[in-house]
Amino acid sequence: MSSTYTSNDLVNAIAAASKNLSARKDEVNRLNVFPVPDGDTGTNMSLTLESVVASLAKLPIGASAAEIRKAITTGALMGARGNSGVITSQILRGLCEGSNGFDAVSAESIESALAKAQDVAFHAVRKPVEGTILTVLKDSAAAAKYARKKKMSADEALSHVVEQAYASVQRTPELLPVLKENGVVDSGGYGLAILIDGFVAALTGKEGPLVDELAFARDAAPKVEIEQINDWEGSEFTYCNEFLVDSDVLDKAEALDFLATMGDCELCVGEAPKFKVHVHSNTPDKVLAYFLERGQISEVFIHNMKLQSEERTEKLEAEQHAERKPLGFVAVAAGKGNAKILESLGVDVVVSGGQTMNPSTKDLLDAAAKVNADAVIFLPNNKNIIMAAQSACELSDIPAGVVPTKSVPQAFAAMFGVDGEASLEDNVEAMTEAFADVKTGEVTTAIKDSKDAEGNAIADGDVIGIADGAIHAVGHSVSDVVMGLLEHMEADDCDTCTLLAGEDLSDEDFQALQERIEQVYEDLEIDAHRGDQPLYPIVFSVE
């Protein structure tokens, strides 16, 4: 039996699998307890898949199967990051080559694709190690072979592969001693299982959560003895080198022999004229010189793994020893400056977003999951995000509440109303009262002709000032519009003005604006910061 999945179905399933892996990359990263982390496994694998999706997005509607396969292999090769990313790129290449010649998804085509993926990936790694991503790939290929022999349908075969991929991941600690010693499974193998699971779920239309048989791994990861395995001292190689090579004369076998003299974890994959090189070495200059003699290089990444290891270990130790709080906070904001201010006021996680990029309920729930607290409060900071925050409260695994802030300045005021000894409900009430008198103004540029709150004409390109959801000031300069908006908002009756400069407003213009406000409103205390928010050169509040 075969399933009539279209090329578009397969492409969409790849995109969904990429999104799923990206969402769970931190979960995969946490399992990587080796003292010499080659970047972070989950991050590198997800970046590789994101490059594939970007490559597929460039295809014209109705692209042929051959064009799709080429886009996948090219995107994977060009975007492969780290050892795990390069291996993932070879798995994808093998899947494409193994599926060539089949008109439909079937147990036979699935077996062929995974068998070829195993062959290509194992040939790319000079010294395959059991208990890694390669083991999970091998076991997945064996599962596909079994499914074909049992004459399973395509959907049955895919589900069987998913089950066996996770089962293989669970066995990795028995095959690789360092995993067993630290109470975790292999991160690369887990990443591959998540990838396969996401693809199959999207392709077959599976509803509900994906397979989650490894909760024990996530629970155990933060508790392993991280500090005892930070044994970088004595490790032979310091730098992870990866780059692309464009050459018509490069001999892969000779290149691999050379790389073996430079360090370990050597990979040289691809075909003329495009190759991807990866090696751990103490002499990046010699590595680059060799390939420069044979072609052109690009996309060069050289990472100091010693520093990566130290930083990662410190981060994990801090997470382990962080005291659980009774109450945590998640806020939405755009701009690094705004995020830093919120964090300085006690916000635990800042979700990037705002007027032009509204985070989803899932984004907010994912952020809440990172907060080490018994309860959490969401500050949406935008009227369009309040409903998503309320949904997140209803779905949250821990008690949660929403303080319905509509701007970042309102969140600043709300955080001053926090009482560490009070209950969740009392804090929501107190924080809501704390920002009640905060009036927010936003200045941006009109993108089309319109009218202001009084019916006056607005031209495309005019600077506009917004308060209470309506346009109340129009002009040709940010400074003029801010002054007009302050007048409308009756700043004369206020005590404090908080100014947040956008990413496109210069320090000189920001300083000049502050001086102009001080001249007109002598009694108004100005609190100025760089918020670095996009599109809005000035966001301010008065109270």
Q: Would 233 be classed as within a structural domain?
A: no
pLDDT, residue 231, reads 33
Helix (H) or strand (E) holding 446: none
Q: What is the CATH number of the domain that holds 528?
A: 3.30.1180
Work out the average pLDDT over 429-456. Answer: 90
Separation in Å, CA 85 to CA 54, 242, 245, 433: 16, 11, 16, 50
What mean pLDDT comes out for the span 211-221? 40
Checking if the pLDDT of 507 tops 80, the result is yes
Dihedral of alpha carbons 213, 217, 218, 220, sign: positive
On whether residue 449 sits in a domain, the answer given is yes
Please, what is the angle between helix 187-204 and helix 154-175, to 10°?
A: 170
Q: Give SS3 for 226.
A: helix
Backbone dihedral angles phi then psi of residue 274, each to the nearest 5 degrees? -115, 125
Which residues, including other chains, have CB under 8 Å from residue 437's CB and lie 6 or more apart? 543
pLDDT at 272 exceeding the cut of 50: yes
Same domain, 443 and 424: no
Q: The domain spanning residue 77 has which CATH number? A: 1.25.40.340
The answer to whether residue 36 sits within a structural domain is yes
**Mean pLDDT on 352-374:** 85
- For residue 316, being part of any structural domain is answered with no
CB 121 within 8 A of CB 137: yes
Confidence (pLDDT) at 2: 52
Cβ atoms of residues 237 and 264 within 8 Å: yes
pTM over 0.75: no
CB hemisphere CA count around 502 (13 angstroms): 15
Mark whether 99 and 17 lie in a shared domain. Answer: yes
Residues 163 and 90 in one domain: yes
Task: Find, among 488, 449, 444, the residue nearest to 468 by Cα.
Answer: 488
Are 540 and 488 in contact by the 8 Å Cβ rule? The answer is: no
Predicted pLDDT at 119: 94
**With 70 as the cut, is the pLDDT of residue 463 above it?**
yes
Do 541 and 439 contact (CB within 8 A), yes or no?
yes
pLDDT higher at 31 or 513: 513
Q: Provide φ and ψ at 304, rounded to 5°.
A: -85, 105
Which comes out higher in pLDDT, residue 489 or 322?
A: 489
pLDDT tens digits for 240-257? 898 999 999 999 999 999
State whether 208 and 339 are in the same domain: no
Q: Which domain holds residue 96?
A: 2-224
Whether 380 maps to a domain, the answer reads yes
How far apart CA 217 and CA 221 sit, in angstroms, is: 6
Give the pLDDT score at 206.
Answer: 76
* Residue 235 or 343, more confident: 343
244 and 204, same structural domain? Answer: no
Residue 220 pLDDT exceeds 90: no
Q: Which of 381, 409, 434 is the last residue of a domain?
A: 434
With a cut of 90, say whether residue 388 has pLDDT above it.
no
Q: How far apart are CA 317 and CA 321, in angstroms?
A: 6
Q: Are 368 and 396 in contact (CB under 8 A)?
A: yes
pLDDT attached to residue 209: 44
Please tell me whether residues 59 and 124 are part of one structural domain: yes
Q: What is the pLDDT of residues 106-151, one digit of tens each?
A: 999 999 999 999 999 998 887 888 888 999 999 999 999 999 999 9
Cα Rg of the chain (Å, integer): 27
pLDDT tens-digit map of 82-98: 778 889 999 999 999 99
Residues 54, 200: one domain? yes
Is 507:493 a contact under the CB 8 Å cutoff?
no
One domain for residues 168 and 34: yes
Q: What is the pLDDT of residue 321?
A: 58
Q: What's the pLDDT at 367?
A: 93
Give yes or no for a contact between 400 and 505, defined as CB atoms under 8 angstroms apart.
no
Average pLDDT over residues 100-111: 93
Q: Are 186 and 172 contacting, i.e. CB atoms less than 8 angstroms apart?
A: yes
* % residues pLDDT > 90 (the chain): 62
DSSP notation for 259-313: HHHHEEEEEEEEETTEEEEEEEES-HHHHHHHHHTTSEEEEEEEEEHHHHHHHHH
> What CATH number is given to the structural domain containing 399?
3.40.50.510
Return the half-sphere exposure (C-beta side, CA atoms, 13 A cut-off) of residue 139. Answer: 24
Over range 2-15, report the average pLDDT: 85
> In terms of domains, do 195 and 209 share one?
yes
- 77 phi and psi, to 5 degrees? -65, -45
Average pLDDT over residues 481-497: 95
Secondary structure E strands in 305-384? 328-333, 349-352, 376-379
Work out the mean pLDDT of the chain and round it to a whole number: 87
Assess whether 302 and 359 both reside in one domain: no
Q: Is residue 19 part of a domain?
A: yes
CA 460 → CA 448, 475, 504, distances in Å? 4, 11, 19
Domain assignment of residue 10, yes or no: yes
Contact 20, 194 (CB under 8 A): yes
- Regarding whether 210 and 142 lie in a shared domain, the answer is yes
**How many domains, the chain?**
4
* Domain's final residue, options 309, 338, 370: 309
Which CATH number characterizes residue 284's domain? 3.30.70
- Which pLDDT score, from 0 to 100, does residue 453 have? 78
Given a contact cutoff of 8 angstroms between Cβ atoms, the answer to whether 497 and 521 are in contact is yes
Close Cβ partners of 253 (under 8 Å, ≥ 6 residues apart): none
- Is pLDDT above 90 for 39? no
Residue 355's pLDDT is 65
Q: Which of 418, 434, 450 is the last residue of a domain?
A: 434
Name the pLDDT band for 205 (thresholds 50, 70, 90).
Answer: confident
Residue by residue, DSSP assigns 381-399 as -STTTHHHHHHHHHH-SS-
Cis bond before residue 35 (omega within 30° of 0): no
304 band by pLDDT with thresholds 50, 70 and 90: confident
- Same domain flag for 507 and 462: yes
Q: Does the pLDDT value for residue 537 go beyond 90?
A: yes
Residue 452 lies in a domain: yes
pLDDT in the model for residue 452: 81
Instruction: Give the mean pLDDT of 353-382.
Output: 88
pLDDT tens sequence across 305-349: 778 767 766 766 666 556 789 999 999 999 999 999 999 999 999
